[in-house]
Amino acid sequence: MTSPAQLLDQLRQIVGAANVLTDGDLTAWELDWRRRERGRALAVVRPGTTEEVAAVVKACAAAGVSMVPQGGNTGMVVGSTPDASGTQVVLSLTRMNRVRALDAGNLTITVDAGCVLQSLQDECEKAGFLFPLSLASEGSCTIGGNLGTNAGGTQVVRYGNTRELCLGLEVVTAQGEIWNGLTGLRKDNTGYDLRHLFIGSEGTLGVITGATMKLYPMPKAQLTAFAAVPSLEDAVKLLGLAHQHLSSGLTGFEVMGQFALSLVAKHFPQQRVPFWQESPWCVVLENSDNESEAHARDCFERLLEAAMEAGHVTDAVVAESMAQAHALWHIRESIPLAQAEEGLNIKHDISINVSRIPEFVNETNALLLERFPGARLVTYGHLGDGNLHYNVQAPEGDDQARFLNEEEAPMNELVYEVVDRYNGSISAEHGIGSLKADKLAHHKSPVALGLMRSIKQALDPQNLMNPNRVIKA
Ligand code: FAD
Ligand code: MLT
Ligand code: ZN
């Protein structure tokens, strides 16, 4: 049996001593972004190539040591940090950050999994293309993490989530073999589509080391508007009108409740947040146009006029420049950061058919506030995709640790019970990680759970890839 010390020696030989971190401050790899759990790793290992990843996985598998793949460590469900045992190896992919190839004719880019999303977007833009995945964490999250979680973000309404953007994968299996599935093909029906097993598997089936992703032509114009809407019902009506008026030009549609915006105004006073004091809800929407800016503006104006006439919008601004557009988006993207500034919080990343969202929110608000008086509801999210962040902040002045310890479980139960009645999902885009692993059993059918267990058993029979995340042994 290999001892931990012997394994560490082997790992140093594979990736170099400087890339096996065991001492010093490992907070960046051991503490999750939301500061929910602090783990302890046997080591943080930073391979530089796919072959090194394969050798590391083989060595860990031979020693019976479990591994936690990690990208930017921005995940929301405690899935990328080690447990508290001090026995797990964190496999950090961030040194693997090369663009391998850009095929302009095929509209694809092939990259290492550790590429930071923003640098990937920038590379594509430099070459005249759009890579449309867009998240507020894009300055640190990696494409491997985006694929591992099947991340959503703010452009899903038009381009789909990360799964839809991926054509091929390279994966190191739990046995340390390299599967090269880096195809740029848009059609390939040669049996089971293995790529889809690994996408969204949160590091529990293998390590994604490379990916071939779709590119899009840069739109001629991108316009952003910020609108005040009297109710969530009106926001849904506005969404319907936006689909009609803008068709595939509608590339973003986000809703923000008044309290969510008040947190941005409070914690980031340098940002000018329009309408939040007078409107219960606001929407930020984006129109990407392949004709011209004038055409984009014309369509947007007709949409907003129709919406105002019908009473679905009470006031609106359309950005006059890219700088203004960024500022409006920045308000939306600052909500999770403002929530973190306000303190620990409870997140519900849920999806419901868009048409039923207002009814869901009215019903859940009433039940929740009756049971947890004073709880502060931070409701916002990707309304265009039927995905709400139905988050909750402790009552003003309450002890936050007490709030989480005592109220999180019953509050989750209350919210997810309503989600189930509306045939929704308890994780629209953040995944399951450890935070929701126990809940999965209550919200997926026994048949679905059985199939998931069979897949895990077949691909990772030793249960060494991110064990106890997603599906418990
Ligand atoms: P990590 O956090 O490092 O890992 C996440 C999961 O993927 C873990 O289970 C890990 O084991 C696994 N993993 C990581 N790399 C690999 C790999 N190479 N191979 C296999 N598995 C791997 N998410 C959204 O979906 N939409 C949003 O709009 C959104 N907004 C956010 C805003 C903020 C401010 C923050 C902090 C987070 C947000 N997130 C959002 C959550 C997070 O950014 C995403 O889940 C992102 O995809 C995680 O990428 P990462 O590289 O940080 O992955
Ligand atoms: C976002 O859309 O901003 C994040 O996914 C939400 C969150 O942090 O709850
Ligand atoms: Zn989100």
Tell me, in angstroms, the distance from the centre of ligand 2 to residue 195's CA. Answer: 26
**Is there an atom of ligand 1 within 6 Å of 176 CB?**
no
Does residue 461 belong to any structural domain of this protein?
Answer: no
Mutational pocket test of ligand 1: of 120, 141, 204, the residue with most ligand atoms within 8 Å of the beta carbon: 141
169 DSSP β-pair partners: 181, 211
Ligand nearest to the CA of 134: 1
* CATH code at position 246: 3.30.70.2190
Give the ligand 1 atom nearest the CA of 75: 2
Given 58, 92, 126, which residue is the final one in a domain? 92
Per-residue pLDDT of the chain (473 residues; tens, 9 = 90+): 899 999 999 999 999 999 999 999 999 999 999 999 999 999 999 999 999 999 999 999 999 999 999 999 999 999 999 999 999 999 999 999 999 999 999 999 999 999 999 999 999 999 999 999 999 999 999 999 999 999 999 999 999 999 999 999 999 999 999 999 999 999 999 999 999 999 999 999 999 999 999 999 999 999 999 999 999 999 999 999 999 999 999 999 999 999 999 999 999 999 999 999 999 999 999 999 999 999 999 999 999 999 999 999 999 999 999 999 999 999 999 999 999 999 989 999 999 999 999 999 999 999 999 999 999 999 999 999 999 999 999 988 888 889 999 999 999 999 999 999 999 999 999 999 999 999 998 999 999 999 999 999 999 999 999 999 999 87
Given 217, 239, 269, which residue is the final one in a domain? 217
**Is there an atom of ligand 2 within 6 Å of 348 CB?**
no
Tell me, in angstroms, the distance from the centre of ligand 2 to residue 336's CA. Answer: 6
- 193 in the same domain as 110: yes
**Is there an atom of ligand 1 within 6 Å of 172 CB?**
no
436: CB partners within 8 A, 6+ apart? 77, 426, 427
Helices (H) and strands (E) in the chain, counts: 18, 19
**DSSP one-letter string for 224-290:** EEEEEESSHHHHHHHHHHHHHHHGGGEEEEEEEEHHHHHHHHHH-TTS--TTTTT-SEEEEEEEEES
Ligand nearest to the CA of 391: 2
Ligand nearest to the CA of 80: 1
Given 35, 68, 92, which residue is the final one in a domain? 92
The number of folded domains in the chain is: 4
Does residue 141 belong to any structural domain of this protein?
Answer: yes
- 289 in the same domain as 199: no
- 156 in the same domain as 126: yes
pLDDT for the residue numbered 179 = 98
253: CB partners within 8 A, 6+ apart? 157, 239, 242, 283, 284, 285, 286, 382, 383, 384
Tell me, in angstroms, the distance from the centre of ligand 3 to residue 16's CA. Answer: 37
**Is there an atom of ligand 1 within 6 Å of 66 CB?**
no
Amino acid at 397: G
Does residue 79 belong to any structural domain of this protein?
Answer: yes
The strand pair at 67-70 and 88-92 is best described as parallel
pLDDT for the residue numbered 344 = 87
Minimal CA–CA distance to 437: which of 67, 78, 70? 78
* CATH code at position 191: 3.30.465.10
Does residue 464 belong to any structural domain of this protein?
Answer: no
* CATH code at position 370: 3.30.70.2740
Give the ligand 1 atom nearest the CA of 433: 9
* CATH code at position 55: 3.30.43.10
Virtual torsion, Cα 355, 360, 362, 363, nearest 10 deg: 140
**Is there an atom of ligand 2 within 6 Å of 347 CB?**
yes
- 309 in the same domain as 212: no
d(CA 109, CA 124): 8
Question: How many beta carbons lie within 10 A of that of residue 120, not counting itself?
Answer: 23
Tell me, in angstroms, the distance from the centre of ligand 1 to residue 154's CA. Answer: 14
pLDDT for the residue numbered 472 = 87
pLDDT for the residue numbered 44 = 98
- 377 in the same domain as 322: no
- 365 in the same domain as 391: yes
Mutational pocket test of ligand 2: of 76, 140, 390, the residue with most ligand atoms within 8 Å of the beta carbon: 76
Q: Output the pTM of the full model.
A: 0.97
- 221: phi then psi, degrees, rounded to nearest 5: -145, 145
pLDDT for the residue numbered 1 = 84
- 361 in the same domain as 394: yes
Ligand nearest to the CA of 33: 1
Using CA positions, which residue lies closest to atom 4 of ligand 2? 336
171: CB partners within 8 A, 6+ apart? 178, 179, 181, 194, 198, 206, 207, 208, 209
Name the residue range of residue 70's domain: 4-92
- 231 in the same domain as 202: no
- 402 in the same domain as 302: no
Tell me, in angstroms, the distance from the centre of ligand 1 to residue 90's CA. Answer: 15
Q: Which two tokens stand for residue 255?
A: 């809703």
**Is there an atom of ligand 2 within 6 Å of 152 CB?**
no
